[in-house]
Amino acid sequence: MLAVCDWSERLSFYHLAGKQVLQPSGSLMSRLTIAQKSVKGPVGIKCGKDRYLGFIPMCMKWIGDLSEYLAVAGQNRKVNLYSYEGCQLGALSEENSWIVSSAKHPREKCLIIGCQDGTIRSLTYSLPLVHSFFRDRYAFREIMTDVVIQHLVTEQRGKLTFSVSRYPARIKCRDVVERIAVYRNRLAIQLSDRILIYESALDDPFDMHYRIQQKVMLKFDCQLLLLTSQHIVHFQGRRITCINSQGKVVREWRAEAPVQCTCQQGGLEEVEGLIIGMYCQSNSE
């Protein structure tokens, strides 16, 4: 894969044979932008076969263990991180002047940048693990924007499928996967502005074909996320909030101390039990 940036503020990808890569997008806005072949648009969406950056790029480097991420920097004085599809993931750093050069450490997770004002900075980056499990199912985030589920007994990996398709296929969320929750045959994926609920066949304990069932248009910050048969529970500090499939708050609790870990205990539908672990600081020194 060859990535190309130019001063028209565009990012594009090519096969080594020279053919430009056109990644399909799941959002209506991106599809309309491709159809209209706009010259410019909102930052991050596509312009024809290119992705509009919103700034003049000066340097870029493939980073990550498998070179699966692209670090682009320039006029905006930031080191922006993109997926291999051009999806904007966030900023690694912000400087006081244009960033004009960059170099990747050959062995460490380290990126060296040089700025217009003569500053040289070393950036160490790490990508946190986002995962969840329930009994024999384990789900983890892959390449920041994808989710893979593994059956721990059969070691079979399932990939998410659109509800309109009968065949398993990977869904590329094209947004940063922030939290994952697994409960029985259900899977919840928290993105930047919504939660997606998927389900597999309830009568087949080995079925790994997940189909989308609900979209909860709700944005919130949380440290932990749990899923039950009918509700979503999220934790932030001492606050525990239970919401339904429409995104409405059903109940809220306040723990005695910040919640550090939690897990589902199962139970009857709509009355499942949860175990929470709290950090209680001793008053004695």
Beta bridge partners, 277, equal 261
* Contact call for residues 180 and 186 (beta carbons, < 8 A): no
Cβ-count burial of 111 within 10 angstroms (0-12 exposed, 13-18 middle, 19+ buried)?
buried
Residues 226, 242: contact at Cβ < 8 Å?
A: no
Distance separating alpha carbons of residues 244 and 147, to the nearest angstrom: 23
Contact criterion met (CB below 8 Å) for 139 and 132: yes
pTM (global) more than 0.95: no
Enumerate domains of the chain plus CATH numbers: 2-124 (2.130.10.10), 131-278 (2.40.128.630)
pLDDT in tens, the chain (285 residues): 899 999 999 999 998 888 888 765 443 333 323 333 334 445 555 555 788 999 999 999 999 988 899 999 999 999 999 988 888 999 999 999 999 999 999 889 999 999 999 999 999 998 889 999 998 889 999 889 999 888 888 776 665 544 333 333 466 788 999 999 999 999 999 999 999 999 998 888 888 888 999 999 999 999 999 999 999 999 999 999 999 988 999 999 999 899 999 988 888 888 888 899 988 776 543
Q: Are strands 210-216 and 224-227 parallel, antiparallel or unpaired?
A: unpaired
Q: Are the C-beta atoms of 215 and 188 separated by less than 8 Å? A: no
